[in-house]
Amino acid sequence: MEKIGICAFSQTSVESDKWYQRFQEMAFEVVKDLLEQTSLDFSDSGIEMTISVSDDVFDARTISDNAMTDVLGAHYRCEEKVAQEGLQAIYYACSVINSGIADVVMVVGHCKESQAKSRNMVTHMAFDPFYARPVGLDFQIAAALQAQTFLDRANIGEDELAQIVVRARERGSKNVLYPNLTPVSVEEVIASKYLAKPIRELHAYPVSDGAVGFILASEKKAKEICKDPVWVTGVGCSMDTYFPGNGDLINLGSLKKAVSRTLDRANTSLDSIDIYEFSDQYAYQLPLYLTNLGFCNLEDVSSFIKNGGLDEKNINLSGGMLIGAPLILGGLFRVVEAIKQLKGISENQIQDPKTAIVQSSMGPAAQFNSAVVLSRDN
Amino acid sequence: MRDRKREVAIVGVGQTKYSSHREDVNQPEMISEAIFEALEQTSLTMDDIDCIVHGNMELFEMIYQPDLWHTIGTGASGKECLRLTTGGTTGATLVCAADALVASGMHDIVMAIGFEKLQEGHTTGGITNMADPLWGRKLQSGALVGITATQMIEEFGEERAKKASIDYRIIMDMHAMKNPKAHRRLGLNFDMAEDLMNNSPQLVGELRMIHMCSQSDGACVVILASEDKAKEICDRPAWILDHVTVHREEHMGTLFGFKKEKLTHRHAAEVLFKRNNINDPVNEFDVFEMYDPSSWWGVDWLREFLLFDGDEHLKLVENREILIDGKFPVNPSGGVIASNPIGATAMVRFAEAALQIMGKAGEHQVKKEVNKALASGFGGTFWTVLGILTADKPER
Amino acid sequence: MDKNLTVKDIILSFKNRANEHIIKDVVCSLGYDISGEMGGKWTVKIDKGKVIIEDGLNDPDVVISMNDEDFISFTLGKLDPVNAISAGRLKITGDAQIAQQSAKFFKKYQIDNGEEREELVRLRKILSIPQRFSTGEVMGFFLNNLKKKKIMANKCPKCGRMQCPPREVCAICKVEASEWVEVGPEGRLTVADIVFYASPDPLTGEIRKTPYITAYILLDGCEDPDTFWHEIDPDTPHEKLKRGVRVRPVWNEKRTGAITDIKYFELVED
């Protein structure tokens, strides 16, 4: 795969309730910023195509991109909506640019988890109407089943989970674009009420509203548009079987495949990567992903976390998705954080990273996984 | 835009029979029927498929991220997947996306799946939810618009306009009678025109029940392959020459002023034909699978797509040139009026156009040799996706 | 198809197929006018749970007409009613709503051939997720002004078009639209659509009274073709809905900041 360049990135603040804006205004903040950064316009010599990310069920709007065409510059132009985990918009943008169909693509995603009475009512609708739905499953409950299995097998508990949350929030609180986030203590985490045992309220990513976007271009165009593009060198994804529990809940085949496909396309290996951003919707997911990808064994999870393994290996330096992101935009917000690290402007900056990998998941118990490798020139 | 990295062709097509009574299958089962047909046609297996592109109009069935559940019927397990939804144009967008995925070199063989199970939801409710909740939802009457009929009657006179739209409807049904997959096959003939155009119950203005498309359940699958693979899989694949997507702003008011705004259909045709050196579309295309939600729109949009300015489009209908064995066959499949499983419908246009080029359309195969086909998708607030398929591999 | 099945068999079987719990409070009569060799005219009267079958059409609320073969196919679920109406093979005169509701009054006709029909599982559920929609500043300003009987448009700084309803950007020029201008309240009708068929509300099952009239109106101060989408007084005689005719809004007494604060537009008549 030929690398493509990210010439600009932008996000709105991520808040628990953006009651004062509708989607159009929220997304327009991002679009306006991207246009200002790049001085591009919507034309055959500027942004040729827009890929939007949104979900009809979350938006309660059939053809949710229908509402967005105005602000996305899509009047009499091409716009297509990726209705899947947002990282897939980058996967798709890679194929569009690599194919020659368009050289410059804008990606903008929006979502308000606060609009529906409960995001769990939305994810409840992902299940088949005959068996899994009447049983009462939603993504949170499926996660709880997976969490309990993992906690038992890795022999970890409240302490380790609380440490992950405390670390995440401490890092995320430094980011002014997450105004509702405050640091918490281990005691507060352990005392927070259960959502679905063993998942406690503070173990879960906060209900979030926000929009995020990027301008992506072919290598040649990217160098014309901006001084220092961040390169997307690999993309990949994989889908697992549907019924959670049809197999080992903690053996994430789709995660391993998604990451290995991404690394193949980027022609690199996992330990060559400098920083890792995982979309951990619930605290247990972070160590779960790590054991699946070989960062540590099941029996070593506790010591890995307690001895600062996350900091040492540069994992979720931003705090990960536990700091907040709407469900379908988890991956794209992690991409923003990864780009900031590569450009040296992160609130949690480490010394000189050159490559990053971003992962995100969708579906019950991480049924679908997606990943992206980013790198910068020296 | 640059030169394509490599050529892509449609090598296989699968469709379920479109119907309003598929209580015998659930959604994944329904989709798998179309998949098996496509695999059989191409002699491929699921192992050969690198990537699956999936789409529908999710608020109809109210399933969140349906591709997750559908893995039990799509064989997507272990594969790379992409999901796009753009309303009525979804099916066409999926073909465009599959094209990009293969042309990019990232995949060699991609399967695109469009489906809808409208009986498992509320169609007009789904469409009404397309409108802004603060504004249009209280006004919208679903997808029913009678204004085009009013405008055509004003321009051409009541008798001529009504006759053209009913004749178009009858021709679409005559085509559907030759398509075993079609949902509605009513057995209409021209003698019934007078009665139908005056007595069919009115929906909105002169848009009557007889003119309007159906609500169907069904799935359509299209398999796209790269240059080298295409020739191995299919004798006469349908090559993707080019496609264009044209969306519009949310507000539709500018379409209904005193002066008419240019439709996206015409804009798409202008852009696509110029890019591909097509100067005389009605003579250069051998078949047109047009997304026609009603016969009024079917007639009106012939003018827009073929870049006419007068009454040439009415003459195409009046002179019966749009019949399967006519000079410019339109919708040999019966079109959208005969079958409308919304998430699949736009894909069916490309699938049927591909079948025509491949020579595999069976009883509704256009008799003359089909070398260049046009296919369109429609949806949203008057969006258009327009594509050209060819029998000869494009030389760029 | 059972060659011995007659139209009369089916009509008489209504007595045995009643869904008692559904018809216990229903009072209505269905007329069947069946043509063809096996044809005939019958009235099926439903009187609070009792089903009475009479010969002839005795002032029924609705008459269902089709030929004998079609009637048998339809009863056995082999003829789609919507297709049949479209093709003119099934005609309904009188109270069409009763015809629609009568589908629930009787159980499906079963051909008695001794075989057990396989029961397919069918789940019926109404799905809804409660929502709280935000108007945002731009729409919010517009809706608030409706309370004051003002129609506000926002202007594109580049092409000058007045956007009503207002949007954050001008989609054509792709720039932010910011200036507010009051338009209307009167305007001219550009085109009207008379709606005869209203779909039942998916949540409440309510059906709007028809015909009603949706219309596009070019408000004073707006430039063609930036029209405003609303409704015309449903009692307006249709012949008067001519292109260009002047209209003005009729406001609701009680206004809440919703598009329905304008009840509808009426013709300005000299």
Written as one string, the DSSP assignment of B289-328 is: E---SBHHHHHHHHHHHTT--SSHHHHHHHTTTTSTTSSS
Under an 8 A CB cutoff, do B253 and C122 touch? no
pLDDT in tens, C189-247: 999 999 988 776 666 667 778 888 999 999 999 999 999 999 999 999 999 999 999 99
Which residues make Cβ contacts (< 8 Å) with residue B105, sequence separation at least 6? Answer: A1, A98, A99, B5, B6, B226
pLDDT of residue A271: 94
Note the Cα B79 to chain centre separation in Å: 27
Is B253 touching A (CB cutoff 8 A)?
no
Tell me which chain A residues have a C-beta less than 8 angstroms from the C-beta of C129. 57, 60, 116-117, 121-122, 125
Tell me which chain C residues have a C-beta less than 8 angstroms from the C-beta of A71. 168-169
Contacting chains of A (3 CB pairs or more, <8 Å) are: B, C
Average pLDDT over residues C81-106: 84
Return d(Cα A341, Cα A376) in angstroms, integer.
10
Tell me which chain B residues have a C-beta less than 8 angstroms from the C-beta of A82. 82-84
Of chain C, the percentage scoring pLDDT greater than 70 comes to 92
> ipTM of this predicted complex?
0.96
Give the torsion sign (CA, A21, A25, A31, A36).
Answer: negative
Under an 8 A CB cutoff, do B247 and A239 touch? no
Under an 8 A CB cutoff, do C134 and A24 touch? no
Tokens 């020029």 belong to which residue? C173
Report the SS3 class of residue A98: helix
Return d(Cα C216, Cα C188) in angstroms, integer.
9
**pLDDT surpasses 70 at C159:** yes
Q: In terms of Cα–Cα distance, which of B122, B340, B66 is closest to B217?
A: B340
pLDDT of residue C97: 79
Is B67 touching A (CB cutoff 8 A)?
yes
A-chain residue closest to B103, CA distance: A99
- Name the β-bridge partners of B208: B202
pLDDT in tens, A306-316: 999 999 999 99
User: What is the radius of gyration, based on Cα positions, of chain C?
Assistant: 27
pLDDT of residue B149: 94
Return d(Cα B273, Cα C249) in angstroms, integer.
45
Tokens 């996000």 belong to which residue? A11
Is B267 touching A (CB cutoff 8 A)?
yes
**pLDDT surpasses 90 at A263:** yes
Is B155 touching C (CB cutoff 8 A)?
no
Which stretches within chain B are classed as H helix?
27-42, 58-61, 67-74, 90-103, 123-128, 147-156, 158-176, 193-199, 227-233, 264-275, 281-284, 295-305, 312-318, 335-338, 342-358
pLDDT of residue B142: 54
pLDDT in tens, A126-152: 999 888 988 899 999 999 999 999 999
Is residue B185 within 8 Å of residue B338, measured between CB atoms? Answer: yes
Tell me which chain C residues have a C-beta less than 8 angstroms from the C-beta of B202. 196-197
pLDDT of residue A130: 86
Residues 20-49 of C with CB under 8 A from B: none
Is residue A249 within 8 Å of residue A365, measured between CB atoms? Answer: yes
Average pLDDT over residues C181-194: 94
Is B63 touching C (CB cutoff 8 A)?
no
Q: Three-state secondary structure along A181-241? A: CCCCCHHHHHHCCEEECCEEHHHECCCCEEEEEEEEEEHHHHHHHCCCCEEEEEEEEEECC
Total H helices, total E strands in chain A: 13, 11
pLDDT of residue B123: 62
C-chain residue closest to A25, CA distance: C168
Under an 8 A CB cutoff, do B258 and C218 touch? yes
Q: In what order do the strands lie in the sheet with A275-278?
A: A78-82, A49-53, A104-112, A209-218, A4-11, A230-239, A368-375, A355-362, A275-278
Note the Cα B209 to chain centre separation in Å: 20
CB-closest option in A125, A242, A261 to B80:
A261
pLDDT of residue C113: 58
Strands A355-362 and A275-278: parallel
Return d(Cα B22, Cα B384) in angstroms, integer.
29
Tokens 């906060």 belong to which residue? A206
Tell me which chain B residues have a C-beta less than 8 angstroms from the C-beta of A83. 55, 58, 65, 83-85
CA dihedral B258, B264, B269, B271 (to 10 degrees): 110
Residue B114 burial (CB count, 10 A): 34
Level-2 CATH architecture, domain B8-124+215-224: 3-Layer(aba) Sandwich (3.40)
| Alpha-carbon distance C71 to nearest alpha carbon in chain A (angstroms) | 35
Under an 8 A CB cutoff, do B257 and C86 touch? no
DSSP structural state of residue A78: E
CB-closest option in A19, A121, A130 to C123:
A130
DSSP structural state of residue A138: -
| Alpha-carbon distance C32 to nearest alpha carbon in chain A (angstroms) | 39
Return d(Cα C166, Cα C169) in angstroms, integer.
9
Lowest mean pLDDT among A236-250, C95-109, C157-171: C95-109
pLDDT of residue A310: 97
Q: In terms of Cα–Cα distance, which of B110, B114, B99 is closest to B16?
A: B114
Q: Tokens at residue C42, please?
A: 């019958």
Average pLDDT over residues C248-270: 91
Query: What domains, with CATH codes, occur in chain A?
Result: 4-115+209-225 (3.40.47.10), 137-202+233-378 (3.40.47.10)
DSSP structural state of residue C209: -
Q: In terms of Cα–Cα distance, which of C259, C200, C256 is closest to C228?
A: C259
Tell me which chain A residues have a C-beta less than 8 angstroms from the C-beta of B2. 100, 103, 218
Q: The pTM is what?
A: 0.92
Q: Categorize the per-residue pLDDT at A270 as very low, low, confident or very high, splitting at 50, 70 and 90.
A: very high
pLDDT of residue B85: 95
pLDDT in tens, C5-64: 889 989 999 988 888 888 888 899 999 999 999 899 999 999 988 999 999 999 999 999
pLDDT in tens, A324-361: 999 999 999 999 999 999 999 999 999 999 999 999 99
Under an 8 A CB cutoff, do C202 and B125 touch? yes
Q: Categorize the per-residue pLDDT at C116 as very low, low, confident or very high, splitting at 50, 70 and 90.
A: low
Under an 8 A CB cutoff, do C122 and B205 touch? no
Return d(Cα A342, Cα A356) in angstroms, integer.
8
Tell me which chain B residues have a C-beta less than 8 angstroms from the C-beta of A56. 57-59, 85
| Alpha-carbon distance A220 to nearest alpha carbon in chain B (angstroms) | 11
Q: Three-state secondary structure along A245-280? A: CCCCCCCCHHHHHHHHHHHHHHCCCHHHCCEEEECC
Q: How far is CA A56 from CA A64, A328, B83, in A?
A: 5, 11, 13
Tell me which chain B residues have a C-beta less than 8 angstroms from the C-beta of A44. 1
Tokens 């949710």 belong to which residue? A64
Give the torsion sign (CA, B337, B338, B344, B346).
Answer: negative
Tell me which chain C residues have a C-beta less than 8 angstroms from the C-beta of A70. 167-169, 171
pLDDT of residue B136: 57
Q: In terms of Cα–Cα distance, which of C240, C239, C264 is closest to C251?
A: C264
CB-closest option in C130, C168, C171 to A117:
C130
Return d(Cα A237, Cα A259) in angstroms, integer.
7
Q: Tokens at residue A60, please?
A: 């309660």
Residue pairs spanning B and C at CB distance below 8 A = 141
Q: Name the more confident of B119 and A106.
A: A106
pLDDT of residue A221: 97
Give me the DSSP letters along B362-374: GGG--SS---EEE
Give the torsion sign (CA, A34, A38, A41, A43).
Answer: negative
pLDDT of residue A301: 97
Is residue A271 within 8 Å of residue A296, measured between CB atoms? Answer: no
Under an 8 A CB cutoff, do A70 and C130 touch? no
Give the torsion sign (CA, A275, A278, A282, A284).
Answer: negative
Under an 8 A CB cutoff, do A66 and B250 touch? yes
Q: Which residues of chain B register pLDDT less than 70?
A: 122-143
Return d(Cα A367, Cα B179) in angstroms, integer.
39
Average pLDDT over residues A55-80: 91
pLDDT of residue B24: 87
Give me the DSSP letters along A23-57: HHHHHHHHHHHHHHHH---SSTTS--EEEEE--HH
Average pLDDT over residues C166-192: 92
Contacting chains of C (3 CB pairs or more, <8 Å) are: A, B
Return d(Cα B325, Cα B198) in angstroms, integer.
29
Phi, psi of B315 (to 5 degrees): -65, -35
Under an 8 A CB cutoff, do B20 and C228 touch? no
Is C122 touching B (CB cutoff 8 A)?
yes
pLDDT of residue C209: 83
Give residue ranges of C with CB < 8 Å to any A CB: 121, 123, 125, 127, 129-139, 167-169, 171-172, 174, 176
Report the SS3 class of residue B380: coil
Return d(Cα B175, Cα A37) in angstroms, integer.
54
Is residue B223 within 8 Å of residue B188, measured between CB atoms? Answer: no
Report the SS3 class of residue C210: coil
pLDDT of residue C1: 47
Query: What domains, with CATH codes, occur in chain C?
Result: 7-104 (3.30.1050.10), 136-267 (no CATH)
Which residues make Cβ contacts (< 8 Å) with residue A184, sequence separation at least 6? Answer: A165, A166, A169, A202
Is C216 touching B (CB cutoff 8 A)?
yes
Tell me which chain A residues have a C-beta less than 8 angstroms from the C-beta of C120. none
Mean pLDDT of chain A: 95
Secondary structure percentages of chain C, helix, strand, coil, to 5:
20, 30, 45
| Alpha-carbon distance B185 to nearest alpha carbon in chain C (angstroms) | 8
**pLDDT surpasses 80 at A260:** yes
